[in-house]
Amino acid sequence: MSSFIINGGKHLVGEKTVTGAKNGILPLLAATYLCDGKVTIHNCPELTDVSTSIGILKHLGCKCSREKSVLTVDSLGSDGFIIPERLMREMRSSIVFLGAVAAKCGKAVMSLPGGCELGPRPIDIHIDALKRLGADIEFTNGQIICNMPEPTGDCDIHLNFPSVGATENIILAASKGKGTTVVHNAAREPEIKDLAGMLNSAGADIKGAGTSTVLIKGVNKLHGTEHTVMPDRIVAASYLFAVAMCKGKITLNNIIPEHIVPFTSCLYDCGCEVKLGESSVFLKSGGTLKNFDSITTQPFPGFPTDAGPALVAAASVFKGTGVFVENIFDSRFRYIGELSRLGANIRTVGRTAVITGVKRLHGAQVTAHDLRGGAALVSASMAADGQTEINNIEFIDRGYEHIEDMFSSLGADIKRC
């Protein structure tokens, strides 16, 4: 296990370009398996979750090659349908391969997925939806055994919660085959629109992605295509909240304004200067920032759960008291105990955190327990007086491309050891 050593107290100043979205690229990689031809993906971030997905594609028989941020996947002729446990356990989003593999091969065998511990993460919505599409699914010894031999007929699926992964799995499973599938109460996250955009450019017929009703007409064949991954709105949030709490200024390029408005409006209310351009944002932070009143995480277009830790870390040095409610996952507060080691004053009751800003945080030894919580510890350590050591940073590498370079180039003192 590696760690970061951070000497805090430096202001962050500079200009950065946001990398491709982790939560965008992962379903796109599953989608490449459905395409009979070469798919070229631009702006592909260098993340361990991406390497795991590439590992799965290679295991299934695909040819994958990478030249910097351009990834090429050729799935023509590949027919693997079994994904080994060691790859499935690496990340939760490996479950999106279920829809893609079953649609391509008529069957899929894989173990239950792993991923960051954010409380129980059932897959019942995925399974119920795939069954509605005609799949026969059994669980044996921790394995999912799925048979979906016949093309589906017309089908309406109503999700009892707008699950991001389940919406993606349905789109993947229904894109190839016969019949029209309508998903009601679909997740509206922009990563879903990105997935549908890529599949449509490969010959799929998907309408309404990004809204709560998605209509998928199955087609016989998907061909090769070229696609640029959407910018990572959560990485953008991490930059913005880090600069706000460390003081300084940043211009972020490659953002989509409507994706980051939940963060910029919050930071504006707290006292930051914010200017949104067509594809960039400028943020300046100085003086005393005041805490937000109350923020609750919601499915898109609400405040995203993945940006919660970055917000809570920043709020720990904003003046006054802010109330943060985590509404999506049961247990996403493990990082808060670590923030307290750095001197933060945060009380939690269930899914609610009450943050009372302190004047200064101080260095300490802390541990990352999950991806976003780990990244929040990086920002808090950069704002703290003195030295911090963060352990278990492998979690952070799952979703941030060289986070130490990302912040060093803005003036932070952060080293990996």
Q: Can you give the binding site for ligand EPZ, defined by CB under 6 A?
A: 22-23, 26, 92-93, 116, 121-126, 161, 163-166, 187, 191, 304-306, 328-329, 371-372, 399
Catalytic residue among 44, 62, 116, 270: 116
Strands 273-276, 280-285: pairing is: antiparallel
The yes-or-no answer on residue 116 being catalytic is: yes
Interatomic CA distance for residues 329 and 317, integer angstroms: 25
Nearer to ligand EPZ among residue 346 and residue 375 (C-beta):
375
Interatomic CA distance for residues 20 and 228, integer angstroms: 8
Closest separation in Å from C-beta 320 to ligand EPZ: 28
Nearer to ligand EPZ among residue 121 and residue 362 (C-beta):
121
Interatomic CA distance for residues 78 and 91, integer angstroms: 23
Cα end-to-end span (Å), the chain: 9
Closest separation in Å from C-beta 185 to ligand EPZ: 12
| H/E run at residue 377 | helix 371-383
CB 148, CB 102: distance < 8 Å = yes
Closest separation in Å from C-beta 281 to ligand EPZ: 21
Nearer to ligand EPZ among residue 77 and residue 120 (C-beta):
120
Six-digit token string for 180? 């029209």
Nearer to ligand EPZ among residue 84 and residue 119 (C-beta):
119
Closest separation in Å from C-beta 399 to ligand EPZ: 5
Strands 365-367, 352-356: pairing is: unpaired
Nearer to ligand EPZ among residue 274 and residue 353 (C-beta):
353
Closest separation in Å from C-beta 27 to ligand EPZ: 7
Interatomic CA distance for residues 309 and 335, integer angstroms: 8
CB 143, CB 111: distance < 8 Å = yes
Q: Name the percent of the chain in helix, strand, coil, to the closest 5.
A: 35, 30, 35
Closest separation in Å from C-beta 102 to ligand EPZ: 16
Interatomic CA distance for residues 315 and 58, integer angstroms: 43
- Which residue type, as a one-letter code, is found at position 375? A
Nearer to ligand EPZ among residue 165 and residue 224 (C-beta):
165
Interatomic CA distance for residues 322 and 291, integer angstroms: 5
Among 242, 267, 237, 243, which residue's Cα sits nearest to residue 255?
A: 237
Which amino acids are annotated catalytic?
Answer: 116
